[in-house]
Each structure stands twice: as structure tokens, then as C-alpha cells.
């Protein structure tokens, strides 16, 4: 497979088009979008496309922009870190407004609670998988892993008792379950780290140790990718379910990142256990720890490699970046299908 084929992804998740190859031209042919570069020529009807996400330099002519506007296909521009830099929409926002109205109704319904429970179950299953993988590397810790995973399973089972409740009624309970599981998970994960990287608890602003500094930096990059998927689907990032609405905070992104966190955790774990990340890759400022420039280069390189690696999740094999986009896509499709506007 050639270089351009490797980095050109036309990802048809309900027809979200993701373009991440340079020198791609987007024009119009036979009243359709026409995508072209050195290895690809593809013609797609605007009726089949929900959005176009552009993550690299390309050419986009006026006819294509007008075609997108006429069919209410948003065009989104992202930088190399997945942060959105610009958006082009139809001035009428008809389809987008409908979806976001439905999203608001969804967030206040028991359906949102069911969705959050499934999100937390995905996260928990991946946390357990991480601990079991580590246990295989160090058999002496298998007993500790077994005890921890059993406790985690018992906690997540408590969510099965929640039925037909609005998220506002059970938010604190679910947050309590999630917090208890995370504490158990990180306490056990800590057993596998070298002494210099061990930590007392999760700390964010500021990180109180090397491990948390690295994890915070990785999560920061992951937020950008998750937010890209939210924008690409046309969802409102500020309408979350589990996480409380907060002015200028993308609370839906905070919800959607939860099942992705354990996947990202292992990037840092591998870097540490393989001695590719050292204390010299961090700096101490005031009362906390931060990733140094050298550390950032190591972490960014590993993160970009990982999210562009094809992995199997739920019987589907694709890049992790595309799995992340699919989470938003599936949520949007579910909302559109299940919620009726008055």
C-alpha cells in the first residue's frame, strides 16, 4: 500500500468523510463531491454525506463549498492535534438544529442514563483488560489483580439496579461508582510501575508525580480527538449527560472520552515499562510536575502512532482514531432514531 493510501481515510460511518492526506482536491463532478489525489479518485453524492472533516492541507473549490451548503453538509478543519480550527456550515442549520434539539431532549431522558451506563461498562471492561494484561507480564501480582478485578466487577454490577431514571436523579450515584472503580484500578496499576513512577492517587492540576503528569498530557491530546468526532457528527459538545453542564466546557466530550481512557493509559504504561520515558523527561514547577519538551516529543509520537494503528474493538478493525469518531457517530444516530421532536 502506498503512502497516500495509508493516510487517506474515507471513513463511511454514516458517511462522515475524513480526509487526512495532503494534496487532496475536493471539487464537484456530476452534482457530486469529487475527491482526488495521486492514488484516489472518488465521486460521492452529497445526500450520502453527513460531514467532511479535513485534517491536512487540501484544495477545496467554491463549487464544492456551495454544494456542501446546499445540502447542509458541514465542512470542518482540524490541526495536527485534532483541535478544530474552523467550520463551514449552511446558513440555515436545519439538519444540525434538529439533531441538537433532539440531543437536548435525550440528555434529560432515561435513555441518557442507559447510554452512560453502557459507556461506564465499556470503560470498566477495558480497565480490567489492562490489569489482566499487566498480570500476565508479572505473574507474582496475579492474586492482587484477581482480587482487584473482582471488586471492580462487583461495583459495576450495581449499575444494573438503575432503571428508568433520569440522569439528574442518578448522576451522583453513577459518579460514585466510577470514582470507586477508578481508585481500585489505579491502586492496582501502581503495583506494576517502577518505584520512581509510582503515585499515591490521581492528580490533575497540577500533577503531583511523573505518572500523573504524563497521563494528563495524554488525556489532553485525546480530548481533542474526541471533540473532533463530536463536531464531525454535528452534536453539541456542551450538552453532556454524566458530566454537569459547565459554561464553555465540552461536557459531552468528557462523557465520550471515558471508555477511551483505558486504551490511552497503556500508551504511558508501555513507555514507562519499556524505559522509553524517564524522570528526566519531566520538570518540576512550583508544587507540581509537567512534561518537558523532550518528554512531549516522546509522548506525542507514541500517541500519534497509537491512534493511527488499526485495532479490533467489538468485532470491527480500524484505526483507533476512527473508533473514537464512531462513538460520536453511533450516539448521534441513536439520538436521531430514538428521539422525536414535539
Same domain? 63 vs 161: no
DSSP code of residue 80? T
pLDDT in tens, the chain (342 residues): 333 332 333 443 446 687 877 889 999 999 999 999 888 888 999 988 877 888 778 899 999 999 998 887 888 887 655 566 787 876 665 567 889 999 999 999 999 999 999 999 999 999 999 999 999 999 999 999 999 999 999 999 999 999 889 999 999 999 999 999 999 999 999 999 999 999 999 998 889 999 999 999 999 889 888 988 888 788 988 899 998 765 457 899 999 999 999 999 999 999 999 999 999 999 998 889 999 989 998 998 899 889 889 999 888 898 898 899 899 999 999 999 999 998
Among 167, 258, 257, 240, residue whose Cα is nearest residue 159: 167
Using the CB atoms, write b or e for 82-114: b if 16+ within 10 Å: bebeeeebeeeeebbeebbebbebbbebebbbb
Same domain? 21 vs 154: no
Same domain? 232 vs 86: no
| Last residue of one domain, picked from the residues 92, 124, 151 | 92
Cell numbers 484505526: residue: 319
Same domain? 42 vs 122: no
Q: Output the domain CATH number for residue 11.
A: 3.100.10.20
Range of the domain at 139: 101-338
| Last residue of one domain, picked from the residues 26, 61, 92 | 92
Task: Quote the cell numbers at residue 67.
Answer: 454544494
Same domain? 252 vs 133: yes
- Give how many domains the chain has, as a whole number: 2
Among 24, 20, 8, 138, residue whose Cα is nearest residue 80: 20
Residues in the chain: 342
Amino acid at each position: 500500500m502506498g503512502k497516500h493510501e495509508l493516510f487517506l481515510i474515507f471513513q463511511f460511518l454514516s458517511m462522515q468523510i475524513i480526509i487526512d492526506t495532503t494534496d487532496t482536491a475536493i471539487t464537484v463532478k456530476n452534482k457530486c463531491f469529487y475527491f482526488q489525489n495521486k492514488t484516489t479518485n472518488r465521486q460521492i453524492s452529497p445526500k450520502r454525506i453527513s460531514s467532511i472533516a479535513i485534517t491536512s492541507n487540501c484544495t477545496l473549490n467554491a463549487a464544492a463549498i456551495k454544494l456542501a451548503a446546499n445540502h447542509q453538509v458541514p465542512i470542518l478543519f482540524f490541526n495536527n492535534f485534532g483541535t478544530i480550527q474552523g467550520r463551514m456550515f449552511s446558513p440555515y442549520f436545519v439538519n444540525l438544529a434538529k439533531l441538537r434539539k433532539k440531543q437536548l431532549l435525550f440528555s434529560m431522558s432515561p435513555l441518557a442514563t442507559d447510554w452512560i451506563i453502557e459507556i461506564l461498562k465499556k470503560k470498566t471492561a477495558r480497565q480490567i483488560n489492562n490489569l489482566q494484561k499487566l498480570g500476565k507480564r508479572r505473574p507474582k501480582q496475579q492474586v492482587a489483580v484477581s482480587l482487584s478485578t473482582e471488586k471492580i466487577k462487583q461495583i459495576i454490577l450495581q449499575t444494573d439496579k438503575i432503571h428508568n431514571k433520569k440522569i439528574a436523579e442518578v448522576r451522583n450515584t453513577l459518579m460514585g461508582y466510577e470514582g470507586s472503580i477508578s481508585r481500585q484500578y489505579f491502586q492496582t496499576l501502581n503495583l506494576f510501575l517502577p518505584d520512581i513512577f509510582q503515585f499515591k492517587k490521581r492528580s490533575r492540576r497540577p500533577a503531583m508525580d511523573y505518572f500523573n503528569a504524563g497521563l494528563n498530557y495524554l488525556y489532553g491530546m485525546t480530548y481533542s480527538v474526541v471533540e473532533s468526532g463530536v463536531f464531525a457528527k454535528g452534536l453539541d459538545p456542551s450538552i453532556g449527560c454524566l458530566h454537569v453542564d459547565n459554561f464553555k466546557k465540552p461536557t459531552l466530550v468528557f462523557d465520550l472520552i471515558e471508555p477511551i481512557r483505558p486504551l490511552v493509559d497503556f500508551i504511558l504504561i508501555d513507555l514507562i515499562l519499556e524505559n522509553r520515558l524517564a524522570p528526566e523527561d519531566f520538570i518540576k514547577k512550583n508544587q507540581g510536575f509537567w512534561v518537558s519538551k523532550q518528554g512531549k516529543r516522546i509522548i506525542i509520537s507514541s500517541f500519534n502512532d497509537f491512534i493511527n494503528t488499526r485495532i479490533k474493538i467489538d468485532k470491527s478493525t480500524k484505526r483507533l482514531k476512527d473508533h473514537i469518531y464512531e462513538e460520536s457517530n453511533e450516539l448521534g444516530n441513536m439520538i436521531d432514531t430514538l428521539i422525536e421532536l414535539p
